[in-house]
A and B are shown apart, each in its own frame.
Chain A
Amino acid sequence: MPNFTENKERIGFLKGRSAQVSGNYYARLGRREIAREEYQQALASYDTVYQTLPDFAEAQKNKKTVLEMLGELLLELGRWLQNKFDKSTKAGWLSPEDIFGSNAFSRKFTTRNQQAVKRAKVINLGANRVALVIELDELSESHEIRVLMRVYPLGEPTHLPDNLKFTVIPKSGKPYEYLAESHHPAFETEWFFKRGEQFRVKIQLNDVTVTEDFVI
């Protein structure tokens, strides 16, 4: 433990810790945006402490943890291609059969590539619930990753609600907003990304918006 010339640095470190643990709390509740803000605040506090006390190991250790937590807020789709689902399962991404039941899913979902990885998540849009299903595979020639995103209604009614908007926001690039056709049994869009690319998906029904952040 370094010798604190005054407790200003110690307080700075403790404030960083408060932001860090608050970030953990919000991440647990699925409030990713607020968690991200808290983590960024924690990083800023640890960086300020580092400027005065570069040998403060605990601050450095915490900073590393916060960076990892920030990374975890992004869903790493590349891991799915290695059949690693641990972290995404914690975030609610399950096999489509777990969500729809195996028979129902095979009836609903016509896959484009039998080998593609498929995961699904329940999205709560107020009184309506839908499932976001992602099908993922790597193209052999371009090495790009094909991301097929589909939205299905869950429960009754068996068609998509009116006014459902689906927006894909690539980190580098122009966002695209789609208006899902009402009374259709599903919505889909296909995108191609390079490894390391980040994008956000926003699903909006009237006043309720749910976002999911991904990195390939």
Chain B
Amino acid sequence: MNPGQNGSLTNGHLALQYFTNRHKFTKQFAEYLNNEPSPSKILFFHGDGGNGKSLLLKFLRKNGCKRFVPAIWQQLKTKSDDEFIAAIEKDKLEDYTAIPSAILDLGQPSIEEDKPQDRFYGLLMLRRKLAIVTSKLGCKLKFPRYDFACVWYLHQKGKSLAEINRLFPPEEMELIGVLVDALEHSVLANVARAALNTLTKHLGQKIILFWKKWGLDEQWLQNLKAMELETELMDTLPHWFAQDLNATMKNDDALKRIVLFFDTHEAFWGKQRYLPNQFFYQDEWLRHLLNSLELSNGIVVVMAGREPPRWIEAPDFLVPTIDAQHIGHFSSEDAKDYLQKVGISDANQQQKLITHTKAHPLFMSWCADTVLVAENKHKPLSEDEFVGKITTRKLHSRLLRYVDEEIQDAIHALSACRTFDRELYFKLGDALRFQATSATFRVLTRFSFVWQDELGFRLNDLLRHLCHDEINEMTNKAHAFLEQYYRKQEKVADAIYHSFFQSQERGIEEWNDVFITADNQRNEELCRTLLKIRNELGF
């Protein structure tokens, strides 16, 4: 296996093939899904960056979301961790029910309305993801309070039906259409005065029955109408989301568990961790959601972050008990297993890499990249490559020494991107005159430091920082190109991000001007996006 030809080491999807170790955590997760009663704790994996937390979450989501037939579970749970993993890998479809799950990666950069950290759009992303997965499994989750409040908010903010529809799962389109229609005919805008029978006339008996079933009544609608949009309503959305999910889990006998995964918890803070109130404000909506969820009804929350959360110090929305689990380095056996899987089978080579990286998963995958690139190019690694103290800078420069020049240029250019896709890669190649081809794109996206998710590709943050520290000309040119690229698309916050890397002064000055205008115009969405950028850039 070779990153230059077929493989990838930590690429979001392919990396799961190389998933190693963590048997204890996989079994523990299975206990959350299969033991009764459902544990009222949040499973939180913490550990250094690059230890494989994200991969663990993806692995658990793909392979571990299973609720076994009780008799099978009774047998499984008595097995050792290793036996347990071997057994569940061999399980038969009739032995278990697939459990719906959704993952929100808080470290994923914001694209369009996909803003995982945003107080409003983050929760909506989760709602959409849950709808996709549950419809695949043939069940449907209902979020009547939450959906209605979101539609109300968006309509009040002047969003069109098309814009609102885009934010909701397709199966809700009909309901959203009826609600927006009612809002546009001012029926609900005057809801404080509107009697239920007036609503019935405009919305149809079916919807009203549905609302009544879910406990929505005139009083609830009146309360909603009385709420200040950006403060009271925004602050209550996580509570309604949780209430709706709690109700589903309580009332749906067939749905025994649902799993919510949250990855990269530390991404909430960017570089502004040191301000105490700001600190607790950033993940407030998430705390509010977790605080309102009734875990005992079968809602399982699994999170990953560099440090265990400091929620106990938070002034409000105390989160239920946390089951914190530390994710450390690989054991020697697991490290060998990993290297074997990625195609490094020579025992001496394996031992050298394990000793050199101390079995740190990220470092080991970077070293494996270098070994595989060198082998592919028939450029043998010198004997002293894997001796001495390991540093990320050393790993980075060593890898770059073994790749072709166009790959080097591409890595430097892509390090300017918060996220990229094939199209942007080719555009960068054209503009900065490095050879961007399908073949080089394949090579690049198979390196361990390139992560893929449903929205595109990302370079590891550590590598991006290293490229920026070098003050590389290609990276600088890429920022200049990207600034213009986003200006043409009228994505001012993204343009400011790239302008900051060319000139801090120009970037902050423009940020201030745009923020003041957005604040004056009550463009809350842009204000929040700009604050996120400021947080990320640390000014």
The residues of A with any CB-CB pair to B shorter than 8 Å are: 7, 10-11, 14-15, 17-18, 21-22, 24-25, 28-31, 33-34, 36-38, 41, 124, 126-127, 156, 207-209
Contacts and interface: CB of A to CB of B under 8 A. Distances in A.
Nearest to A28: B519
B276 A18 contact: no
9 contacts: A7-B505, A10-B505, A17-B512, A25-B519, A29-B230, A33-B277, A34-B281, A41-B275, A207-B317
A22 B508 contact: no
A22 B531 contact: yes
B505 A37 contact: no
Contacts of B291: 207
Interface stretch (B10-18, B105-113, B231-239, B338-346): B231-239
Contacts of B539: 14-15, 18
A21 B276 contact: no
B499 to A, nearest CB: 13
A37 B277 contact: yes
Contacts of A124: 232, 235
Given A14-B508, A29-B231, 15 more contacts: A11-B508, A14-B539, A15-B539, A17-B512, A21-B516, A22-B531, A25-B519, A34-B275, A36-B277, A37-B276, A124-B232, A126-B236, A156-B219, A207-B291, A209-B315
Top 5 A-B pairs, shortest CB-CB distance:
A33-B277, A14-B508, A37-B275, A209-B316, A34-B277
B318 interface: yes
A28 B539 CA distance: 21
Nearest to A25: B519
Contacts of A18: 508, 511-512, 515, 534, 539
B527 interface: yes
A34 B317 CA distance: 17
B505 A31 contact: no
Contacts of A15: 508, 539
B172 interface: no
Interface string B296-327: 00000000000000000001111000000000
Contacts of A208: 316-317
B515 to A, nearest CB: 5
A41 B230 CA distance: 24
A151 to B, nearest CB: 18
A33 B232 CA distance: 17
A28 B229 CA distance: 13
B509 A25 contact: no
B278 interface: yes
Contact of A14 (B236, B278, B505): B505
A115 B219 CA distance: 37
B301 to A, nearest CB: 17
Interface in B496-539: 504-505, 508-509, 511-512, 515-516, 519, 527, 531, 534, 539
Nearest to A45: B539
A126 B232 CA distance: 8
Nearest to B275: A37
Contacts of A11: 504-505, 508
Contacts of B519: 21, 24-25, 28
Contacts of B512: 14, 17-18, 21
A207 B277 contact: no
Contacts of A37: 275-278
Contacts of A22: 515, 531, 534
Contacts of B527: 25
A30 B229 CA distance: 13
A12 to B, nearest CB: 10
Contacts of B230: 29
Nearest to A7: B505
A28 B512 CA distance: 17
B183 to A, nearest CB: 23
A17 B514 CA distance: 12
Nearest to B222: A155
A9 B171 CA distance: 55
Interface string B398-425: 0000000000000000000000000000
